Chains A and B, each alone.
Chain A
């Protein structure tokens, strides 16, 4: 199939990332940020990518959106969206998709909005790029979007500058912008990390409601396992650029199979007796430069033996859609 004839049959996944590899070309060598990562997102589904900082979650999101700049470089793999390989199309074609069929909500609402433009105009801008050339129509739709995302007094706020809004309100504006053109896929990169807990609950509920109403898919990137448990249908746990465990959220959370996932869940304070010492994962996150061979988690793993240090681990099917990259997992 040529890249310009999209495959729109409903049975194929909306997004399918195959063996994506991304490196950073740094003065002291090449750093593998993402290593042969595969993810699929079906229509209407919420898939979460979870992991600690430096594991490659944001780089993955930026690769899908083709927002990576030097020194980052995509060295392999494909990103199929509606059957079109996004990595093979021209920048011009990509611009038509970005903000239209695929949108992104960024981590920091404080720095992601343009401080010198009124928020209303920032929403209108996207609408006029993709949807209509009629300013008045776009303005009407922007007002409609502002009230949809729960901004009170939308008419007055339309002319507000970002600094006049609270963090939660700015994130709502970001969501309104991302959803303006009714995307089929929303990528939310830590959408609530900068927000207070009670505000966080409201923003997550909003994304969920809009998702149900429009039937879009959501790729949710977060380090917060509580959010994953509550919102995601499926989960991908990343460690050092690789997917170490994937599967239906309830299954992975209830019976994690990879030693890293197990360690991560055990180290949460709510899973221990208050005041007791918490079980920890020994050591620190391996830097991407040392991943030439063997399992990426071998240095920190209690179960590791000499084979783990030399044999590359691939995701294995454990049944019920549960995959794990550890040969000792049963």
Chain B
């Protein structure tokens, strides 16, 4: 593993925003992403789990290079994004593509399907113009759309079919990394299964690396090799997928798993409804940000922020008491 360079890597990245700054009011600062490290190798899938407001979409934007981090660096094949010249940057944009959450608002309603999928090819000058149409039709077949649908408009398609158009568009420039921000949450159960299969098939055919962002832990488990759990801008747990589901080491992960309704997913997670709601990211609690909601919190948690430390090989957690709570046998 140490010999290969990750396709995409985030080193200690932080991003904050200032809100409501007017002449009369001083703005407040929201730290949306707080010193996050992440690696993504070719062909693997990393899942990011967390609730709304935890910073997962900001993280996606940072990794896409759509917004620069305040500090830290994003490395693409080992090169810092900020050091790329404009040619290399164009190449980076071609390599990292995105699938969006809402298949209704992420397609231009006034463009025909085929043109939507062809547009990235035009921008990146990928094929001679006369070949592009054939390439688009190939892509459409790959995602399960027919040649006859080339000239249709997005409103003529169902949600699942639109998500297929979005996927074809992302693949049009032969990327090596696809960032999927809640790719399934707008879809019905039977359509979700079809799109999951499509994502798995395409990964197999093109050796794609996926970064799947989702609040749905059963989807994350199905697709990912590794999982990161985010809470208020920080990673609180990181592990190979099965390790998280068989032996979670952070109380927030436990709460997330226990909250899945009707879940037989994780027998060990105790059903304790969290006492409070997630605090606003404008007022992140002191110490461990999870302490006001944590059933195991102690005095130390109110004062000292726990670092993300490796507890088992490849399994990291940011909790003072991980070992005490979850690994009683080894104590």
Cβ–Cβ < 8 Å partners of B188 in chain A: 52-53, 223, 285
Knowing A53-B188, A268-B189, A270-B218, the reply to whether A280 touches B259 (Cβ < 8 A) is: no
A274 B260 Cβ-Cβ under 8 A: no
B23 CB within 8 Å of chain A: no
A169 CB within 8 Å of chain B: yes
B255 CB within 8 Å of chain A: yes
Nearest residue, chain A, Cβ from B217: A197
A52 B264 Cβ-Cβ under 8 A: no
Give chain A's interface residues, CB within 8 Å of chain B: 52-53, 166, 168-169, 196-202, 204-205, 223-231, 263-264, 267-270, 272, 274-275, 277-281, 284-285
Binding stretch for chain A, among B6-14, B81-89, B112-120, B273-281: B273-281
In whole Å, how far is A286's beta carbon from the nearest beta carbon of chain B?
Answer: 12
In whole Å, how far is A315's beta carbon from the nearest beta carbon of chain B?
Answer: 22
Knowing A166-B277, A269-B218, A277-B200, the reply to whether A197 touches B256 (Cβ < 8 A) is: yes
Cβ–Cβ < 8 Å partners of A267 in chain B: 189-190, 192-193
Give Cα distance in the complex from A263 to B274, angstroms: 33
In whole Å, how far is A275's beta carbon from the nearest beta carbon of chain B?
Answer: 7
Nearest residue, chain B, Cβ from A193: B185
Secondary structure at chain B's binding surface: helix, strand, loop or mixed? helix
In whole Å, how far is B6's beta carbon from the nearest beta carbon of chain A?
Answer: 21
Give Cα distance in the complex from A152 to B246, angstroms: 35
B190 A263 Cβ-Cβ under 8 A: yes
6 closest pairs, A vs B, by CB? A226-B262, A229-B262, A267-B193, A226-B261, A269-B222, A52-B188
In the complex, 7 of the A-B residue pairs with CB atoms within 8 angstroms, ordered by the A residue number, are: A200-B261, A201-B271, A201-B274, A270-B221, A277-B201, A278-B193, A281-B190
Knowing A168-B277, A284-B160, the reply to whether A230 touches B197 (Cβ < 8 A) is: no
Cβ–Cβ < 8 Å partners of A201 in chain B: 258-259, 261, 271, 273-274
Knowing A274-B241, A275-B200, the reply to whether A196 touches B261 (Cβ < 8 A) is: no
Give chain B's interface residues, CB within 8 Å of chain A: 51-52, 158-161, 188-194, 196-197, 200-201, 215-219, 221-223, 241-242, 255-256, 258-265, 271, 273-274, 277-278
In whole Å, how far is A273's beta carbon from the nearest beta carbon of chain B?
Answer: 9
A227 B193 Cβ-Cβ under 8 A: no
Query: Which of A53, A204, A268, A281 contacts B218 (CB under 8 A)?
Result: A268
Cβ–Cβ < 8 Å partners of B263 in chain A: 226, 270
Give Cα distance in the complex from A285 to B158, angstroms: 10
A269 B196 Cβ-Cβ under 8 A: yes
Give Cα distance in the complex from A267 to B277, angstroms: 31
Nearest residue, chain B, Cβ from A275: B222
B190 A198 Cβ-Cβ under 8 A: no
B189 A197 Cβ-Cβ under 8 A: no
Cβ–Cβ < 8 Å partners of B217 in chain A: 197
Give Cα distance in the complex from A272 to B222, angstroms: 8
Give Cα distance in the complex from A284 to B241, angstroms: 32
A200 B193 Cβ-Cβ under 8 A: no
Q: What 6 additional pairs, Cβ within 8 angstroms, besides A226-B261, A269-B193? A: A197-B259, A200-B259, A202-B274, A268-B193, A274-B241, A277-B197
Query: Which of B193, B221, B261, B274 contacts A279 (CB under 8 A)?
Result: B193
Give Cα distance in the complex from A263 to B192, angstroms: 13
Nearest residue, chain A, Cβ from B252: A198
Give Cα distance in the complex from A269 to B214, angstroms: 14
In whole Å, how far is A35's beta carbon from the nearest beta carbon of chain B?
Answer: 20
In whole Å, how far is A128's beta carbon from the nearest beta carbon of chain B?
Answer: 30
Query: Which of B191, B196, B241, B261 contacts A230 (CB under 8 A)?
Result: B261
Cβ–Cβ < 8 Å partners of A280 in chain B: 190, 193-194, 197
Give Cα distance in the complex from A201 to B278, angstroms: 13
B242 A198 Cβ-Cβ under 8 A: no
Query: Which of A52, A199, A229, A230 contacts B277 (CB under 8 A)?
Result: A199
Cβ–Cβ < 8 Å partners of A197 in chain B: 51, 215-217, 256, 259-260
In whole Å, how far is B326's beta carbon from the nearest beta carbon of chain A?
Answer: 19
B221 A52 Cβ-Cβ under 8 A: no
B215 A264 Cβ-Cβ under 8 A: no
Give Cα distance in the complex from A166 to B259, angstroms: 19
A274 B196 Cβ-Cβ under 8 A: no
Give Cα distance in the complex from A197 to B252, angstroms: 12
Give Cα distance in the complex from A168 to B192, angstroms: 25
Nearest residue, chain B, Cβ from A265: B189
Cβ–Cβ < 8 Å partners of A275 in chain B: 200, 222-223
A204 B261 Cβ-Cβ under 8 A: yes
In whole Å, how far is A283's beta carbon from the nearest beta carbon of chain B?
Answer: 9
B222 A274 Cβ-Cβ under 8 A: yes
A198 B255 Cβ-Cβ under 8 A: yes
Give Cα distance in the complex from A196 to B193, angstroms: 21
A227 B262 Cβ-Cβ under 8 A: yes
Query: Which of A169, A225, A278 contacts B196 (CB under 8 A)?
Result: A278
Nearest residue, chain A, Cβ from B188: A52
Cβ–Cβ < 8 Å partners of B223 in chain A: 275
Cβ–Cβ < 8 Å partners of B200 in chain A: 275, 277
Nearest residue, chain B, Cβ from A172: B277
Knowing A277-B200, A284-B160, the reply to whether A230 touches B190 (Cβ < 8 A) is: no
Give Cα distance in the complex from A230 to B271, angstroms: 12
In whole Å, how far is A118's beta carbon from the nearest beta carbon of chain B?
Answer: 21
B222 A198 Cβ-Cβ under 8 A: no
In whole Å, how far is A217's beta carbon from the nearest beta carbon of chain B?
Answer: 20
Give Cα distance in the complex from A227 to B261, angstroms: 5
In whole Å, how far is B273's beta carbon from the nearest beta carbon of chain A?
Answer: 5
Give Cα distance in the complex from A199 to B194, angstroms: 28
Cβ–Cβ < 8 Å partners of A202 in chain B: 273-274, 277
Cβ–Cβ < 8 Å partners of B161 in chain A: 284
Give Cα distance in the complex from A272 to B189, angstroms: 14
Give Cα distance in the complex from A197 to B193, angstroms: 20
Cβ–Cβ < 8 Å partners of A227 in chain B: 261-262
Cβ–Cβ < 8 Å partners of B265 in chain A: 270
In whole Å, how far is A248's beta carbon from the nearest beta carbon of chain B?
Answer: 15
B221 A269 Cβ-Cβ under 8 A: yes
